[in-house]
Chain A
Amino acid sequence: MTMKLQTPRGVKDFLPEETRWKLELENKLRQVFGQWAYEEVVTPTFELYDTLNLGDGTSDEMYRFLGRNGELLALRSEITTQIVRMVATRFQADPKPLRLSYHANVFRHDDVQVGFQREFYQAGVELIGSDTPAADGEAIALAIRSIQAVGVQDFRVDIGQVQYFHGLMSECQCPQISDQVRQALLHQDYVGLKQIIQQADLDRETKNLLLKLPSLRGGDEVLKKAYAATKNKVAQAAVDNIRDIYRLLEAHGVADAVQIDFGMVKSLEYYTGMVMEGYTPNLGFSLGGGGRYNSLSARFGTNIPAVGFALGLERLMLVLERQGLKPAPAKQSYLVLPKNWVKALAYASKQRANGYQVEVDVQGLSFNEGLRYAQAKQIAWIATVGDDEPQIVAVCAENGE
């Protein structure tokens, strides 16, 4: 049999340096999530397809396969659905709200696109059991604090409200047109939007407003504009909701990083209120996003409002690299060359306890061989340990002194 050295499209190895970096980022996020009292959970990598299919993931993008008993299974394509399933079955009686977080790999059988892998890592939180602007505000503020914690510079989080669009479109009697308008806005096809709106049975005011939607974006001055632009009660309530949230973001001290965008349209079957998306000029696509999804739990037979967000780990890493913020491989490490094994191993244990990385030579290297090895592996010091005191030599990459 010939060796297969290829991996399938859309998956990748994390080599030691990348893995170390990824763990470092995850730990920074873990720390922030923890400080905000979000408890980490772990969900199964695969579940019944019918369960996962209740969520936001589209059925095409899920990896599906048959279990031994013929049941249809699927790899998770996002985590939120699993957490809602978990809450519906295990946390019904618990005091609400619940604050849960996760770090997990997810799988999407999509065409490999820009910044997309078929397996990739997400870090996210869900705040479950509260339907207040304060809960939305907390989710947004935590998203911002999380992106700050990993060190990304110059980023923004856009917030919108799907009910604004929903309210405007409720005036439109034709569901087909309503769907076409939503698709056009979702795909930012503003040329198509114009064509569709011309045929729509809407008053001129609403038509103009729909065309203007993409420009309803900015700081809190947008709130007034968006409110004045419509008489629809649902849309006005959506503006009031964003105003309440925005005031709380000011109190959180994060409003500088927030832009209000009433043109942001996301899946209406899934999101029911505030939506958010983070981005930076260094990346042509978003860092992550989320929003309020009050109706998802109904698909699991309960009625629990919830809000959450997820960040893409690989995307954060890509941005940090582009911003020149990838950490240098700074290793505080020893190579121990044992001449006296008892003393050498005792010395290695002592330095490990002191917090250093210590590798003990198992090849019987001479000092010069050890030096070349240490240089290649960017090890900081060589300790030759014989019967006497350990001889420590600092490794210098250039001249080996």
Chain B
Amino acid sequence: MLSIAVSKGRLLDSFIEILEKSQYPCAVLQEETRKLVVESPQAGLRFILAKPADVPTYVEYGAADLGVVGKDTLAESQKNVAELVDLKYGRCTMIVAVPEALGIKDVAQLDFNSRVASKYPHIATEFFHNRGIQVEVIPLHGSIELGPLIGLSEAIVDITETGRTLVENGLMIIDEIMESTSRLVANRVSLKVKRTEINRLVQAIEGVL
């Protein structure tokens, strides 16, 4: 039995689809339930329903053998897990954006008083650090676009799929930090101890992607 930490929501449906195609039946995941742990004995899988940001933690500690999590969340978590498969869905881009009105076209134009709001403070800090640009990163938990609108920050670092929300809020992308998709990750010891089971699942998934 392999345990997989997943998070509820839109992206879970994409994963269920992949599993079903890979001959790992997981109808239990679609049932309306408040249970946090559900099992699919036919598939030999136990699902742990977690908050997205907690998935890397469950996996790092070995509380779950595997996890499904966005590359953005994974990179931000700085957790020590093995990254097995790019699941190719949940595609988005991590970007730097500023209000159009600011007239800035390049991150290098942000001066040392600039503040950057982000749900991804580690990624943002590292990005600006590597470019040698001194800014203050302000961690927020949601509605990052608000930052520049209400004068909290000059720029934001956030993920976007289509860029529509940014445009609607008068923001313009000035740089791209990374592409993100959902990833299948594994605990480093589980990868050794449950190698056969994990390999079987990985091969099945890669076969249908």
Interface residues of A (CB under 8 A from B): 111, 113-114, 156, 158, 187-192, 194, 214-215, 217, 259, 261, 279-281, 283-286
Contacts and interface: CB of A to CB of B under 8 A. Distances in A.
Interface residues of B, number: 23
15 contacts: A114-B80, A156-B192, A156-B193, A158-B192, A188-B188, A188-B191, A189-B82, A189-B83, A190-B84, A191-B83, A217-B192, A281-B190, A284-B63, A285-B188, A286-B189
A190 B188 contact: no
A187 B188 CA distance: 10
A259 B190 CA distance: 14
Contacts of A281: 189-190, 193
Contact of B84 (A191, A217, A284): A191
Contacts of B195: 217
By Cβ-Cβ distance, the 4 closest A-B pairs, closest first, are A284-B62, A188-B82, A189-B83, A281-B193
Main secondary structure of the interface of A (DSSP, over half): mixed
Contacts of B183: 191
A215 B199 contact: yes
Interface in B75-89: 78, 80-86
Nearest to B187: A284
Interface string B83-104: 1111000000000000000000
Given A114-B61, A191-B183, A284 B83 contact: no
Interface of B: 60-63, 78, 80-86, 183, 186-193, 195, 199
Contacts of B187: 284
B189 A279 contact: yes
Contacts, number: 59
B192 A188 contact: no
Given A114-B61, A191-B83, A281-B190, 8 more contacts: A156-B193, A187-B83, A191-B86, A191-B183, A215-B199, A279-B192, A283-B189, A285-B189
A190 B60 CA distance: 16
Contacts of A187: 80, 82-83
Contacts of B84: 190-191
Contact of A285 (B62, B83, B85, B199): B62
A284 B85 contact: no
Contacts of B78: 111
A114 B63 CA distance: 12
A191 B85 contact: yes
Nearest to B202: A190
A236 to B, nearest CB: 25
A166 to B, nearest CB: 21
A292 to B, nearest CB: 21
A284 B192 contact: no
Contacts of A285: 62, 80, 188-189
Contact of A188 (B62, B83, B86, B193): B83
B87 to A, nearest CB: 10
A192 B83 contact: yes
A280 to B, nearest CB: 8
A117 to B, nearest CB: 15
A173 B122 CA distance: 33
Q: Which interface residue of A114, A279, A283, A284 has the most chain B CB atoms within 10 A?
A: A284
